[in-house]
A and B are shown apart, each in its own frame.
Chain A
Amino acid sequence: MVNVQIDGVWMQFPKGTRMIEACTQAGKFIPRYCYHPKLSSPGNCRMCLIEMGMPKMGPDRKPVLGADGKPEIAWIPRPQISCAQDIAEGMGIRTSSPMVEDCRKGVMEFLLINHPLDCPICDQAGECRLQEFSVEYGNAQSRFLDQKVKKPKNVELGPRVTLDAERCVLCSRCIRFMKEVANDDVLGFVDRGSFSTIACHPDRQLDSNYSLNTVDICPVGALTSSDFRFKMRVWFLKETKSIDVNDGLGCNITIGSRENIIYRITPRENNDVNSCWMPDSHRLNFKYLHNERRFLGPQIKTGSSLAPVEWPVAINRAAEQLKKYALTSSLAMIASARMTNEELFLVGRLAKALGIQKFDVLPRVGEADGILIPADRNSNTSGAKLLGLTGERPGARLPEIAEGVRTGAIKALLCFEDATRCGISETDLAKLESIVTMDILPNKTTALASVVLASSGFAEKRGSLININGRLQRLNRAISAPGEARDDWEILRDLIQAVSGSNGIYMIEDVFKQMAEEVSAFAGLSLSKIGDLGVQLLSGDGKAAERLDADQPVAKTPTA
């Protein structure tokens, strides 16, 4: 541990702590633009200037001790930046001396000289460091009388990112992110002096699948998301902490919604999973929740088409059809490795109550990108394995089910995926006597189904998922499901009740409680104990998230 004096108080910090981090940990926030705990420190914004001193050395090269027994500090007469230097033994830091305050005021004035002051149309307004620090450290009025420098505005840097160079403070966070984290060194500075701007390499675009992270770390409104552009002011957004469900990693996310409409998804810091980042493809994949073709309630087949009915009717019809084939080998089930643990647990119970022997999940495998996207594109394969809905090799029994459907050995199917993606052709599917399916959007299976149960999307329900590294994480509800669509676990609970009688489950907490009693891995846990950052449930084999920060000290402070 290293002794450091911050604003007159001696404190101890681990060796290797940045001065800016030490001050933050001591409760003295230092304004910063270019510094980001996950990136290198170029020290170019000069906002984090502080007054610094080192111990006064006596003739014997030992620190001179003051009356209090602590080293006397020889203050450096000029300000220093705190973001690019580690603390040292006996160091003194002043974070709010008159000189420091003057420096901040001066730096703010310089940064705002050419600023267009178009906050009313800027998407960053409300979460903009320029706005915040201008209020805290800036001047109320500008002394600048000359023409402001004109720079390119509304430039499409890539398919998803828009640049307004006039708002840029040249902090280079985006340049460093693309170089150091996304491994795609496509951005850089061009031109000199006050004409300096951010630009893409000629013939290149900012089209990396991680490009929108530059928008998140941009402290001002220079880089904005083309998708979110002018959609909603950020202060209206209700922020819900949840997790991403597009792959097996489960990036931690914040869902921004207003009045039941999701406007954006941003990554949330979790150093054990996704650091501060997430892929663009995942964060933009929420619009299907607002698709106008969503099922607004349960439907049953009457004649040749589906007709909407009340929930009890649909549940009874489903139970009736399933019971007809119960305890025989003519009933099969395709579960989903995208369901939550609670849902999979109930699906397992339902399978047991119906005596289903043939069941499996649909595996989804893509190409891992070596950064954050793993090969497994199902969000809960580990959970499906743990709860016994699939074997060591997910999808191994699907050919058997498909063959059974083709030969006619299987007459009824309970299906939580699109069965046509599981190797069953549409013509074979049409031969089945009964298909009970649960989904949010119409697909080829729901078109042929006898009963369609309208369920909820990932932002509309609660539950837990286990990622590929064995980390148990929590989904939270940001918006409510459309129309009469219900939570998946409620539908399953009602189905089990209709098949085998009451089960004492009234809340999702009850499901988790019963699961914790039956499955030893969940013992002692509850939904609330999972917390926002999740808990390590199983020992994992993948190392996707750790590799990201391998050469960076792990910072526990909130992201700038």
Chain B
Amino acid sequence: MAYTVPRPKLTLAEKFYLPQVVAGLLITWKHFKNMLLGRTKIIMQYPEEKWDASMPSYYRGAPTLVRDEHGRERCVACQLCEFICPPRAIRIKPGEIPPASKWAKVEKYPEEFDIDMIRCIYCGLCEEVCPEQAIFLRKDYAITGLSRSEMIHNKAKLYELGGVMDGVVNKWNPKK
């Protein structure tokens, strides 16, 4: 439907435009002065310098796997992250923990855990869905590689990025 836009009523000063031009020039002059006095910092030497320190705690970078405080890999290969992952970036091959192991009670672990970082959209659903608090989005955002295969993070790489994370899941404690 046609719609008539009302023309704004301009004051006399606005009709001349000059006050606005002067105001703009003043801002430019302020920046110029600050630059001459060395008060402005407009260049960051990336990647030597990064924003990381000022990133919020909830920043969603690359998904990683973490171990618990006893060194146990938290992931039990339930494959919920593989299911929820919208771009289907996650691939898990489940395996069985041998009965002789210290963590035999957990029974299941991921034999292979691949996240295709070309596919990953950093949505964080994997972290949200994980019932074992095993997958976390850390602050690494510059994931690069020279080939497609290099961009697939395997289990070793994911644990290297993830490190150790304390959590509240203690049902695998043998006494529990």
| Interface, chain A (partner B; CB < 8 A) | 116-121, 125, 148, 153-154, 229-233, 235-236
Q: Are A120 and B107 in contact (CB under 8 A)?
A: no
> A154-B107, A236-B83 are known contacts. Are A120 and B76 too (CB-CB below 8 A)?
yes
**Complex-state Cα separation, A235 to B84, whole angstroms:** 11
Q: Are B132 and A120 in contact (CB under 8 A)?
A: yes
- Give the residues in chain B near A117, CB-CB below 8 Å: 171
Which of B3-11, B94-102, B147-155 lies at the binding interface?
B94-102
- Give the residues in chain B near A119, CB-CB below 8 Å: 78, 131
Interface string of B68-98 (1 = CB under 8 A from A): 0000000011111011000000000011100
Which of B83, B95, B99, B132 touches A230 (beta carbons < 8 Å)? B95
The residue on A at minimum CB distance from B83 is A235
**Complex-state Cα separation, A120 to B96, whole angstroms:** 13
Closest chain B CB from A238 CB (angstroms)? 14
> A120-B132, A235-B83 are known contacts. Are A230 and B78 too (CB-CB below 8 A)?
no
**Complex-state Cα separation, A235 to B82, whole angstroms:** 11
Residue B138 is within 8 A (CB to CB) of chain A in the complex:
no
Q: Are A121 and B76 in contact (CB under 8 A)?
A: yes
Q: Are A118 and B171 in contact (CB under 8 A)?
A: yes
**Complex-state Cα separation, A231 to B105, whole angstroms:** 18
Which of A121, A154, A229 touches B78 (beta carbons < 8 Å)? A121
Interface string of B119-132 (1 = CB under 8 A from A): 00000000000011
Q: Are A120 and B80 in contact (CB under 8 A)?
A: yes
Residue B137 is within 8 A (CB to CB) of chain A in the complex:
no
Which of A116, A153, A230 touches B171 (beta carbons < 8 Å)? A116
**Complex-state Cα separation, A94 to B171, whole angstroms:** 39
> A230-B94, A230-B96 are known contacts. Are A121 and B108 too (CB-CB below 8 A)?
yes
- Give the residues in chain A near B176, CB-CB below 8 Å: 148
Closest chain B CB from A397 CB (angstroms)? 50
Closest chain A CB from B74 CB (angstroms)? 10
- Give the residues in chain A near B117, CB-CB below 8 Å: none
- Give the residues in chain B near A125, CB-CB below 8 Å: 78
Which of A118, A229, A236 touches B79 (beta carbons < 8 Å)? A236
Q: How many A-B residue pairs have CB under 8 A?
A: 39
- Give the residues in chain A near B158, CB-CB below 8 Å: none
Closest chain B CB from A190 CB (angstroms)? 22
**Complex-state Cα separation, A154 to B78, whole angstroms:** 17
**Complex-state Cα separation, A119 to B80, whole angstroms:** 11
Which of B77, B96, B105 touches A229 (beta carbons < 8 Å)? B96
The residue on A at minimum CB distance from B131 is A120
Q: Are B108 and A233 in contact (CB under 8 A)?
A: no
- Give the residues in chain A near B106, CB-CB below 8 Å: 121
**Complex-state Cα separation, A236 to B77, whole angstroms:** 14
- Give the residues in chain B near A235, CB-CB below 8 Å: 83
Task: Please give me the 6 A-B residue pairs with the lowest Cβ-Cβ distance, nearest first.
Answer: A120-B78, A121-B108, A230-B94, A233-B79, A120-B76, A121-B76
- Give the residues in chain B near A230, CB-CB below 8 Å: 77, 94-96, 107-108
| Interface, chain B (partner A; CB < 8 A) | 76-80, 82-83, 94-96, 99, 105-108, 131-132, 171, 176
Q: Are A233 and B83 in contact (CB under 8 A)?
A: yes
**Complex-state Cα separation, A395 to B106, whole angstroms:** 55
- Give the residues in chain A near B99, CB-CB below 8 Å: 154
The residue on B at minimum CB distance from A116 is B171
Which of B82, B83, B107 touches A121 (beta carbons < 8 Å)? B107
- Give the residues in chain B near A231, CB-CB below 8 Å: 94
**Complex-state Cα separation, A232 to B111, whole angstroms:** 13
Closest chain B CB from A151 CB (angstroms)? 13
**Complex-state Cα separation, A232 to B95, whole angstroms:** 10
The residue on B at minimum CB distance from A233 is B79
Best-surrounded residue of A117, A118, A229, A235 (most CB of chain B within 10 A): A118
Closest chain B CB from A398 CB (angstroms)? 46
**Complex-state Cα separation, A233 to B77, whole angstroms:** 10
**Complex-state Cα separation, A236 to B91, whole angstroms:** 12
- Give the residues in chain A near B95, CB-CB below 8 Å: 230
- Give the residues in chain B near A121, CB-CB below 8 Å: 76-78, 106-108
**Complex-state Cα separation, A154 to B108, whole angstroms:** 12
23 contacts between A and B (CB under 8 A): A117-B171, A118-B171, A119-B78, A120-B76, A120-B80, A120-B108, A120-B131, A121-B76, A121-B78, A121-B106, A121-B108, A125-B78, A153-B107, A154-B99, A154-B107, A229-B96, A230-B77, A230-B94, A230-B96, A230-B107, A232-B94, A235-B83, A236-B79
Q: Are A233 and B96 in contact (CB under 8 A)?
A: no
- Give the residues in chain A near B82, CB-CB below 8 Å: 236
Closest chain A CB from B158 CB (angstroms)? 18
The residue on B at minimum CB distance from A231 is B94
- Give the residues in chain A near B94, CB-CB below 8 Å: 230-232
The residue on A at minimum CB distance from B104 is A154
Extra contacts besides A230-B77, A233-B79 (9): CB < 8 Å: A117-B171, A119-B131, A121-B78, A121-B108, A148-B176, A153-B107, A230-B95, A231-B94, A236-B83
- Give the residues in chain A near B108, CB-CB below 8 Å: 120-121, 230
- Give the residues in chain B near A154, CB-CB below 8 Å: 99, 107
Which of B78, B107, B171 touches A233 (beta carbons < 8 Å)? B78
- Give the residues in chain A near B107, CB-CB below 8 Å: 121, 153-154, 230
The residue on A at minimum CB distance from B92 is A233
- Give the residues in chain B near A232, CB-CB below 8 Å: 94
The residue on B at minimum CB distance from A125 is B78
Closest chain B CB from A362 CB (angstroms)? 39
**Complex-state Cα separation, A256 to B28, whole angstroms:** 69
- Give the residues in chain B near A233, CB-CB below 8 Å: 78-79, 83
Best-surrounded residue of A117, A120, A229, A231 (most CB of chain B within 10 A): A120
Closest chain B CB from A241 CB (angstroms)? 23
